[in-house]
């Protein structure tokens, strides 16, 4: 298409941003809303496939409903000049593949912060029930302010509907980042996206892909069967905790990985927040002379440290305290009989009837020497 080409009588082509086997991406101007947009125009052999066209429209609608700061917004889609197109938010900057080509492997903190954003966007799509299916460095766009946005949600799922003769060619569009289950021809899941994110982070930190092979079939076998090289062997500066995270994302079994991109993102966030120093700076030794100390600090008379009292011997006894305690016990013991006497004076014990009669008989009976013949006068 030329710079004068109008798509759908609304979008003016201005520049070519990229080309691939499936589509061409242009920078364009939305003449109606007066803003820059990106247009992906699919090649004609895909656009004329009825099944693909139907599923492409379904996926484009689903992608248009995604509203997240780390996902490229879909504005519009349609069919013009026998070619499908999709209108997206224009994102200035570069993708992860271009950045890696310029700078080599990424700084640890930068890589984790970018991947944290990618997980946020992909995790949002997972919660909405969408799986990306084709996460690769070219689909992770980074602005000059280091804000990451993900593009091409749903395209891979639409491609899965084309005829079997073409399907194999599409599956191998980005084989270096496909999960083992995708390489085996199985349906992808959120854990498949997690695997692809893990491959990208592995490459960002080590500068190498975990698997390389001369043919797609051999590469698929390695994804399914081989263990990736230790990241720390390729880059000793990678912390052991990050290596464990990487190896978990690259597990062959989907159930053994982080279940969603959100879960992986939370792990990366926790590491960034809890690590005191991601990459410790070079230590610096500062020599200060005694003259400099005297010039910068006022003189103070040294104060002798306070004397530390000797520790008390646990076997030493305080005899005064013991004596007072004994006196208290004795005093308490002397008061007990007094209180008992007062109690019984005012509360005499109740006696039985027999005891009362016996006491009465004693009171009225004559004493010793009593003579019954004696008359009292």
Residues with Cβ within 8 Å of 96's Cβ and at least 6 positions away in sequence, in order, are: 114, 137, 138, 140, 142, 200, 204
d(CA 115, CA 261): 10
C-alpha torsion angle, residues 191, 194, 195, 199 (rounded to 10): 180
The residues assigned a catalytic role are 134
C-alpha torsion angle, residues 158, 163, 165, 169 (rounded to 10): 0
d(CA 298, CA 40): 71
Q: Calculate helix-pair angle for 190-206, 108-127, nearest 10 degrees.
A: 170
What is the DSSP code string of 277-331? -SSPPPP------HHHHHHHS------PPPPPPPPPPTT---HHHHHHHHHHHHH
d(CA 257, CA 245): 9
What is the DSSP code string of 241-281? HHHHHHHHHT-SSGGGS-SSHHHHHHHHHHHHHH-S-SSPP
Q: Which two tokens stand for residue 225?
A: 């069967």
- Check if the beta carbon of residue 167 is closer than 8 Å to that of residue 160: yes
Count CB neighbours of 160 within 10 A: 15
Question: What letter does residue 238 receive in the DSSP assignment?
Answer: S
Q: What is the CA radius of gyration of the chain?
A: 46
Residue ranges in 172-256 assigned as alpha helix (H)? 180-183, 190-206, 216-225, 231-234, 240-249
């Amino acid at each position: 298409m030329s710079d004068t080409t109008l798509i759908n009588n609304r979008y003016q082509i201005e520049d070519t941003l990229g080309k691939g086997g499936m589509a061409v991406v242009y920078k364009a101007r939305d003449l109606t809303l007066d803003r820059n947009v990106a247009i992906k125009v699919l090649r004609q052999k895909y656009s004329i496939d009825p099944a693909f066209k139907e599923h492409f429209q379904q996926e484009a609608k689903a992608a248009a409903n995604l509203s997240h700061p780390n996902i490229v917004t879909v504005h519009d889609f349609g069919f013009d000049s026998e070619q499908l197109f999709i209108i997206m938010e224009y994102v200035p900057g570069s993708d992860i593949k271009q950045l890696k080509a310029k700078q080599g492997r990424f700084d640890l903190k930068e890589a984790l912060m970018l991947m944290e954003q990618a997980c946020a966007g992909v995790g949002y799509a997972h919660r909405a029930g969408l799986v990306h299916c084709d996460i690769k460095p070219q689909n992770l766009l980074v602005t000059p302010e280091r804000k990451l946005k993900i593009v091409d949600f749903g395209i891979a799922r639409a491609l899965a509907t084309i005829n079997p003769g073409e399907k194999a060619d599409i599956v191998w569009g980005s084989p270096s980042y496909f999960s083992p289950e995708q390489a085996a021809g199985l349906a992808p899941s959120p854990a498949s996206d997690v695997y692809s994110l893990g491959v990208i982070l592995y490459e960002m930190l080590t500068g190498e892909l975990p698997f390389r092979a001369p043919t797609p079939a051999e590469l698929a076998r390695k994804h399914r069967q081989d263990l990736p090289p230790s990241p720390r062997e390729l880059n000793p500066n990678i912390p052991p905790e990050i290596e464990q995270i990487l190896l978990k994302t690259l597990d062959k079994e989907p159930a053994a990985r982080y279940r969603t991109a959100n879960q992986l993102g939370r792990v990366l966030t926790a590491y960034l927040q809890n690590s005191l120093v991601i990459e410790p700076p070079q230590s610096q030794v500062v020599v200060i002379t005694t003259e400099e100390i005297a010039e910068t600090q006022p003189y103070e008379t040294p104060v002798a440290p306070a004397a530390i009292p000797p520790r008390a011997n646990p076997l030493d006894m305080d005899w005064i305290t013991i004596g007072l305690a004994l006196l208290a016990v004795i005093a308490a013991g002397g008061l007990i009989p007094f209180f008992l006497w007062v109690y019984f004076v005012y509360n005499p014990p109740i006696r039985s009837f027999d005891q009362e009669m016996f006491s009465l008989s004693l009171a009225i009976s004559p004493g010793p020497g009593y003579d019954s013949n004696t008359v009292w006068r």
